[in-house]
């Protein structure tokens, strides 16, 4: 504990950045899972990483490059989907993003350090601009999901009724895609690709299995993510480990027994 307190004082900015993202990402993950688009989280994240590395190579701020490329992909999503066979877009983008990122890292000495940080999730490098970005993403994302969450659910569960009612389609299409892309690009630049994906995937995966309803899921997923994040942050600081893998490990260690227990409880209930 005596080691931890001075480090917390030193790293309050990255800590807060990650905490804000730990609240937002699971909320996005719930809707991505609902839309069966959680591959999108990996794709937007990896494309954002490639954009950040490319920007650095060109002497442009990395945050601008990551956001620009990720948002451009989200903006073209519907057009790209029409050109490709079913469900191929996001895995393909993920693979291409990964490949470009690694090639940039391997061939441009200037971006090597950032490349390693993006894959390891070196949260401790997050500066004031990243904190502002995370705060803005949480504020905008929270407001958007509060206002448009019902539309997102209705469009997914009762699409014919949604269209017949002539309800606004932009939040369900471009609005959500752009929000997810921007948030994932920001998250990757601080938490790393897999750290961000773990927050998008694992808490929603758990609450989908356990929550009695959607409201409960909306409340439980960010709480669970924040608890895991806090524990991972402390562990990574005390043991001087890269943050992304520690976060993924903590989330996995928390989730696996609960998921297995929920599975058996489900079997028992069906057996009655």
Question: Which position has the token pair 């090597």?
Answer: 112
Q: Among 150, 173, 219, 253, which residue interacts with other proteins (rule: CB under 8 A)?
A: 150
261 belongs to the binding site for other proteins (CB under 8 A): no
Residue 134 contacts residue 21 (beta carbons within 8 Å): yes
Applying CB under 8 A, which of residues 34, 67, 198, 247 lies at the interface with other proteins?
34
Could you identify the residue written with the tokens 């080691």?
Answer: 3
Residue closer to other proteins by CB (options 157, 260) is 157
Cβ 195 to other proteins shortest distance, Å: 25
In DSSP notation, 126-192 reads: --HHHHHHHHHHHHHHHHHHHHHHHHHHHHHH-HHHHHHTT---TIIIIIHHHHHHHHHHHHHHHH-
CB of 29 to other proteins, least distance (A): 13
User: Does 217 participate in binding other proteins (rule CB under 8 A)?
Assistant: yes
* Minimum CB–partner distance for residue 189 and other proteins (Å): 31
Q: How far apart, in whole angstroms, are the C-alpha atoms of residue 36 and residue 87?
A: 10
CB of 167 to other proteins, least distance (A): 11
Question: 100 Cβ partners below 8 Å, 6+ apart?
Answer: 50, 53, 54
Q: Which stretch binds other proteins (CB under 8 A): 65-73, 186-194, 203-211, 223-231?
A: 203-211
Q: How far apart are alpha carbons 254 and 156 in whole angstroms? A: 29
Per CB under 8 A, the segment of 44-52, 55-63, 212-220, 252-260 that binds other proteins is 212-220
Q: 3-state DSSP call for residue 60?
A: coil
Give which of 94, 82, 79, 191 is closest to 134, Cα–Cα. 191
| Comparison of 106 and 158: residue with beta carbon closer to other proteins | 158
- The verdict on 161 binding other proteins (CB under 8 A) reads yes
Enumerate binding residues for other proteins (CB under 8 A): 34, 150, 153-154, 156-158, 160-161, 163-166, 207-217, 269
């Amino acid at each position: 504990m005596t080691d931890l307190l001075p480090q917390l004082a030193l790293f309050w900015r990255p800590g807060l950045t990650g905490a804000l993202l730990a609240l937002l990402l699971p909320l996005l993950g719930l809707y991505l899972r609902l839309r069966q688009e959680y591959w999108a989280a990996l794709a937007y994240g990896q494309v954002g990483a490639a954009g950040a590395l490319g920007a650095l190579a060109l002497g442009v701020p990395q945050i601008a490059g990551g956001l620009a490329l990720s948002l451009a992909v989200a903006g073209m999503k519907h057009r790209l989907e029409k050109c490709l066979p079913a469900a191929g877009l996001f895995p393909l983008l993920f693979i291409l993003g990964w490949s470009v990122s690694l090639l940039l890292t391997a061939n441009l000495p200037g971006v090597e350090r950032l490349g390693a940080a993006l894959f390891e999730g070196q949260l401790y490098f997050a500066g004031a601009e990243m904190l502002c970005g995370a705060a803005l993403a949480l504020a905008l994302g929270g407001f958007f999901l509060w206002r448009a969450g019902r539309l997102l659910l209705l469009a997914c569960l009762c699409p014919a009724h949604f269209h017949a009612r002539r309800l606004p389609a932009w939040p369900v299409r471009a609005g959500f895609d752009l929000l997810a892309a921007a948030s994932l690009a920001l998250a990757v630049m601080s938490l790393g690709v897999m750290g961000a994906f773990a927050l998008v995937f694992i808490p929603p995966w758990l609450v989908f299995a356990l929550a009695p309803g959607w409201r409960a899921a909306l409340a439980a997923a960010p709480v669970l993510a924040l608890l895991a994040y806090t524990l991972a942050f402390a562990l990574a600081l005390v043991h001087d480990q890269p943050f992304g893998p520690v976060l993924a490990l903590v989330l996995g260690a928390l989730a696996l027994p609960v998921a297995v227990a929920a599975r058996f409880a489900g079997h028992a209930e069906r057996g009655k």
